[in-house]
Amino acid sequence: MSTLILGFLTSLIISFIATPYVKNLAVKVGAVDTPNQRKVHTRIMPRMGGLAIYIGYLVAFFLFVPHTSMSEMLGIFIGSTIVMVVGMLDDKYQLSPKWKLLGQLVATAIVVIPFGLKIGVVNLPYSGSIDFSSGWLVWLAIPITMFWIVGVTNAVNLIDGLDGLSAGVSAIAAGTMGVMALLMDDYKVSAYCFVLLGAILGFLYFNFHPARLFMGDTGSLFLGFNLAALSIMGFKEALFVSFIIPIVVLGVPLWDTFFAIVRRIVNKKPISSPDKGHLHHCLLNMGLSHRSTVLTIYSISIFFGTMAILLTKTTKWTTIIVMVALLIVIHLGTEIVGLVSRRHRPLINAYRRIKIKQTEQQRRTN
């Protein structure tokens, strides 16, 4: 436990000290974010702040995280370093989406193929399990794992729209996975998560509203990649419904990304087209302040994290009931804030129709 605390404090302090220097470097090299119609900030801001997170993480990783040559843990480090460099290049030169995706695929292929990080056994409720670690399913595990890592990486990148939002949500996810790894006696994953958590919090002091710099793609791609890879490493051999837990832990970015895709399909727009319909935009449109919006999404993330921890201790039937309830709550929340559109609200509209019919029946009765 003392090693976990030391790793956390080391990454936090180094990240905190490094952030002002990274800010000056970003300004010097021209890695700045200019306002436009899709962004919330109104002045030029230095980005590439994720480099400070990486520096704190880098030092603490080699000091406190157990790893050996060709281990999965070292593979995650190498892969996350590659996506961090891709993010730095994007913050400076504004890479096209295809080059960013190529960099993510290369990083993911490295951690999956030579270092062997792949999904293992997926336990299905009352339907047995699917073992992706043997037979021909081994080859299916590779594309599924790569799809998950690239998908989560971009999901975390997409929620980076307000001061401290992506960093805070990532910190909550990393802390949740760290606690869950401790409960499962997985010291390696726990140590990695707490090192990552410390590095994020050291930077978040400068990134929370009003931010002094943004972490940019340097930080969001780096954090997304780490969270995706850790979710596989931490839960691939668990004896619970293993495909559910990582989804719940990363609930906010996955929720926002999924309904962003639905929104663009409903509105007949390209899936990759940017817009101002993300969760944080919707909350701002409802009248919440910048800080209140971020704190609201933090609260939602903490709720998801708490539910993920509780799900590891429940029976299969309870897990199914809780997941159905969560899906209903998510869908209602989506309709209330207008995450898809103000018109596309099937549950709310159905409820209103029922109320109207009840009112008409009462009038006829009276």
In order, the DSSP letters of 17-30 are HHHHHHHHHHHHHT
d(CA 40, CA 285): 12
d(CA 336, CA 354): 18
Where in the chain are the domains?
Answer: 2-365
Among residues 263, 161, 268, 259, the alpha carbon closest in space to that of 215 is found at 161
User: Residue 288: pLDDT above 70?
Assistant: yes
**Backbone φ and ψ of 292, nearest 5°:** -65, -35
Annotated binding site for Mg(2+): 157, 217
Q: Token digits for 99?
A: 């080059």
Among residues 300, 306, 305, the alpha carbon closest in space to that of 279 is found at 300
Helix axes 97-112, 137-158, angle to 10 degrees: 140
pLDDT in tens, 109-158: 999 999 988 887 666 655 566 777 777 777 888 898 899 999 999 989 88
Among residues 279, 233, 249, the alpha carbon closest in space to that of 174 is found at 249
Annotated binding site: 157, 217
Most confident of 38-47, 58-67, 260-269: 58-67
pTM, full prediction: 0.87
**Cα 259 to Cα 12, 150, 266, distances in angstroms:** 34, 17, 10
Higher pLDDT, 106 or 266: 106
Average pLDDT of the chain to the nearest whole number: 85
Question: 15-19, 204-208, 328-332: lowest mean pLDDT where?
Answer: 328-332
Q: What is the pLDDT of residue 366?
A: 63
d(CA 61, CA 193): 10
Q: How confident is the model at residue 238 (pLDDT cuts 50, 70, 90)?
A: very low
Q: What is the distance of C-alpha 207 from the center of its chain?
A: 17
**Rg of the chain taking only CA atoms, in angstroms:** 21
* Tokens 């990083």 found at: 107
Average pLDDT of span 245-272:
80
Q: Token digits for 111?
A: 């951690």
Give the rounded percent of residues in the chain with a pLDDT score beyond 90: 42
